[in-house]
Structure 1
């Protein structure tokens, strides 16, 4: 199975011209625009089960491996004079451009094909999702105490349990 480049040798992903990735010839390897990466370019490998993003930030190279099932779906985003088809992720930095075109019919057919290939829903057009907020830790003391001590109630009856009032003590003498 051969590799495919973005737009079959024309401009890379993220340029102003139309890109068209073929969903039936996966895996696909191409470059996309990334504001924060060195050289403003990230390398993307798109497989049926996973996506690998490779980029360098301030000289530190990294590869992010994301399962396709972790993506929200396939979304259409509006550009100035065209539409862009995107594999949308909760974190916008991990979203992947799939197709850019000014032809609405072409975008609709590609939208259906990519959605069927990845078994992901087609997201409505202008839905802008914010990154998920970090979860708060509900029980901060749990990490510091052993589990059985977290269950156990502390204090209360310890001082009162050993005190006897109003009774005569029996002391054994040798």
Structure 2
């Protein structure tokens, strides 16, 4: 099994070079920026079935494994390095960069290839406001409990409404 690394293979060495992963050479292992991780770097292992992230946050090392099917799709995003092709997840900390380039043709070819290899949809611009959370509503919560539905409701401010013309019986011993 051949691996691509950050210092060789498809991803060329040098800090001025852009990220360029080959979808036909999976599995791939590389480092990516992570603003929350110690040192600002996380290690990513990308396979056809799963993605594994290794990072340390405040000295605590963690490994996160996510199935590829749990990702939403492949999309293009604007990053500090340029326009990037990313593997999009609902959790922003799990978004995986796949390709960083300004060449639109190269990006389109890679977008199609990654989408086919990972069996994920190609998504258009994902930069939109997130939908507001739906409030849970329950129609039964407004109803009275069953044992109270058998009883008549009363009006505490109007005692005459409780007796409805009946004579009050007072038991004496």
Change (3 A) 1:129 1:11: farther
Q: Hey, what's the Cα distance between the residues in 1 that align with 2:24 and 2:63? A: 25
Partner SS, residue 99 of structure 2: strand
Conserved 8 A contact 1:54-1:63: yes
Conserved 8 A contact 1:30-1:43: yes
Q: CA RMSD in A?
A: 3.2
Q: How big is the shift at 1:155?
A: 4.8
Partner SS, residue 105 of structure 1: helix
Partner SS, residue 36 of structure 1: coil
Q: How big is the shift at 1:133?
A: 6.7
Is 2:84 the counterpart of 1:91?
Answer: no
Partner SS, residue 98 of structure 1: strand
Q: Hey, what's the Cα distance between the residues in 1 that align with 2:64 and 2:133? A: 20
Q: Hey, what's the Cα distance between the residues in 2 that align with 1:114 and 1:29? A: 16
Partner SS, residue 63 of structure 1: strand
Superposed counterparts of 1:145-164, under 5 Å: 153-155=146-148
Q: How big is the shift at 1:78?
A: 2.9
Equivalent position of 2:126 in the other structure: 127
Superposed counterparts of 1:1-174, under 5 Å: 1-6=1-6, 8=9, 10-11=12-13, 17-79=17-79, 82-124=82-124, 126-129=125-128, 153-155=146-148
Q: How big is the shift at 1:102?
A: 2.1
Partner SS, residue 117 of structure 1: helix
Q: Hey, what's the Cα distance between the residues in 1 that align with 2:49 and 2:131? A: 23
Q: Hey, what's the Cα distance between the residues in 1 that align with 2:131 and 2:43? A: 25
Q: How big is the shift at 1:82?
A: 3.6
Q: Hey, what's the Cα distance between the residues in 1 that align with 2:111 and 2:39? A: 30
Partner SS, residue 123 of structure 1: coil
Q: Hey, what's the Cα distance between the residues in 2 that align with 1:33 and 1:81? A: 11
Partner SS, residue 121 of structure 1: coil
Partner SS, residue 55 of structure 1: strand
Q: Hey, what's the Cα distance between the residues in 2 that align with 1:101 and 1:16? A: 12
Q: Hey, what's the Cα distance between the residues in 1 that align with 2:43 and 2:81? A: 25
Listed as ranges, the gaps of 5+ residues in structure 1 are 140-151, 159-174
Q: Provide the aligned length of Structure 1 versus Structure 2.
A: 150
Conserved 8 A contact 2:73-2:87: yes
